């Protein structure tokens, strides 16, 4: 039985990847290593919890001794590495935490993988999941391709860029078999309400103000998280070693337009008066170093591996809102903890 280590599987994207692989591949044993930070939540995986091909391990990827012993014990054939500190705003208040987990943690995993297999690389793979934010910002036009130079602007994107470089360096220097994907902004079920879409859904449902940074003209390319998980599955099985793939939704939205669509969909679902939720929009102080625009050219993964997004943004957003409406308890439990302090601090 092939043993696959997924890191960060209790987080937003990781939980969708774990679910997909556990359900689809009974011939694999999926190990989920997660520290369960504020962003990790085992509730996200309650439906696969007792699957016989799934094991959860609580632990920190920066703990070298622990990670080494885990690799020796289980002899993982492959790693799909998602564990990270993932929120730009938090990286502005605590950059060091991002360097530790995202850079050091990735290196610890690379080292353990390298010492376990000692150049016997047949059938092995280290898959590093990364972000389009490593490319920095675009102006009004153009798209990020796999050959765009790295130019990160936030401590988050700088730490992810650094981890990408280390993965590539281990490939070049030690022959470690790897693949990297850089994806655009994800949205969907189980996303922690610090990121734009779940934060705004929660605030709209609770009639709280919607804090739009700056003029709201910043642009992101949005991808439904299930489509990202499918892309990861395809890349894991079909990608050429040593390659990078950009993943995106061909779906650019200025923040303010996206927020208006979100308000409109929620008003409709809750039978609220037309335009009611839009009144909650409040322009607030901009994020320092705010990247103007991200947009992905995802034609390589489309042409080489046959992947493309399966839902339109309107469909994906509607499914996402439905999930949050049906899972109010999930949200309530999350926003009762350290979230209260985070929110006060971030939006004071």
Phi, psi of 125 (to 5 degrees): -155, 135
Buried b (16+ CB within 10 A) or exposed e, 188-215: bbbbbbbbbbbbbbbbbbeeeebbbeee
Q: Quick check: 317 binds ligand TYD (CB under 6 A)?
A: no
Q: Which parts of this chain interact with ligand NAD (CB under 6 A)?
A: 7-8, 10-14, 34-37, 39-40, 60-62, 82-86, 101, 105, 129-131, 160, 183, 185-186, 192
Catalytic positions, written as ranges: 132-133, 156
Give which of ligand NAD, ligand TYD, none residue 127 binds (C-beta under 5 to 8 Å, depending on kind). Answer: none
Strands (E), 184-319: 185-187, 210-213, 219-224, 244-247, 252-254, 281-284
d(CA 299, CA 309): 12
d(CA 47, CA 252): 33
- Return the number of the residue (34 or 77) whose C-beta is nearest ligand NAD: 34
Give which of ligand TYD, ligand NAD, none residue 34 binds (C-beta under 5 to 8 Å, depending on kind). Answer: ligand NAD
Among 255, 265, 277, 320, interactor with ligand TYD by CB under 6 A: 255
Pick the piece of the chain touching ligand TYD (CB under 6 A) from 62-70, 212-220, 232-240, 334-342: 212-220
Q: Tokens 């016989």, residue?
A: 52
| 3-class DSSP state of 344 | helix
Give which of ligand NAD, ligand TYD, none residue 37 binds (C-beta under 5 to 8 Å, depending on kind). Answer: ligand NAD
CA distances from 215 to 88, 149, 164, 218, 320 (A): 18, 28, 32, 8, 25
Give which of ligand NAD, ligand TYD, none residue 196 binds (C-beta under 5 to 8 Å, depending on kind). Answer: ligand TYD
Residue 37 C-beta: closest distance to ligand NAD, Å: 4
Q: Quick check: 114 binds ligand TYD (CB under 6 A)?
A: no
Chain residues that interact with ligand TYD, rule: CB under 6 A = 88, 185, 195-196, 199, 211-213, 218, 220, 255, 287
């Amino acid at each position: 039985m092939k043993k696959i280590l997924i890191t960060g599987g209790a987080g937003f994207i990781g939980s969708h990847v774990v679910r997909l692989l556990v359900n689809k591949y009974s011939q694999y044993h999926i190990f989920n290593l997660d520290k369960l930070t504020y962003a990790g939540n085992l509730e996200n995986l309650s439906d696969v919890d007792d699957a016989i091909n799934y094991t959860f391990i609580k632990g920190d990827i920066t703990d070298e001794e622990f990670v080494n012993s885990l690799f020796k014990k289980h002899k993982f054939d492959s790693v799909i590495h998602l564990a990270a500190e993932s929120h730009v705003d938090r990286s502005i208040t605590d950059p060091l935490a991002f360097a530790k987990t995202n850079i050091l943690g990735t290196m610890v995993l690379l080292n353990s993988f390298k010492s376990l297999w000692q150049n016997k690389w047949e059938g092995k793979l280290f898959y590093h999941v990364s972000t389009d934010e490593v490319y920095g910002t675009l102006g009004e036009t153009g798209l990020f391709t796999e050959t765009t130079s790295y130019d990160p602007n936030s401590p988050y994107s700088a730490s992810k860029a650094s981890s990408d470089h280390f993965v590539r360096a281990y490939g070049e220097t030690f022959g470690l078999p790897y693949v990297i994907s850089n994806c655009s902004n994800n949205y969907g079920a189980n996303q922690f309400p610090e990121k734009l879409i779940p934060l705004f859904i929660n605030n709209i449902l609770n009639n709280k103000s919607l804090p739009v940074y700056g003029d709201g003209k910043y642009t992101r390319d949005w991808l439904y998280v299930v489509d990202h998980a499918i892309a990861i599955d395809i890349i894991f099985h079909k990608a050429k070693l040593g390659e990078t793939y950009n993943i995106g939704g061909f779906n650019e939205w200025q923040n303010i337009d996206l927020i208006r669509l979100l308000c409109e969909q929620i008003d409709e679902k809750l039978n609220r008066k037309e335009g009611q939720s839009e009144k909650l929009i409040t322009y607030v102080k901009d994020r320092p170093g705010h990247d103007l625009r991200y947009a992905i050219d995802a034609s390589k993964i489309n042409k080489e591996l046959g992947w493309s997004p399966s839902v339109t943004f309107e469909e994906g957003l509607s499914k996402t809102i439905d999930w949050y409406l049906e899972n109010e308890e999930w949200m309530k439990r999350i926003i009762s903890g350290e979230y209260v302090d985070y929110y006060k601090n971030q939006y004071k």
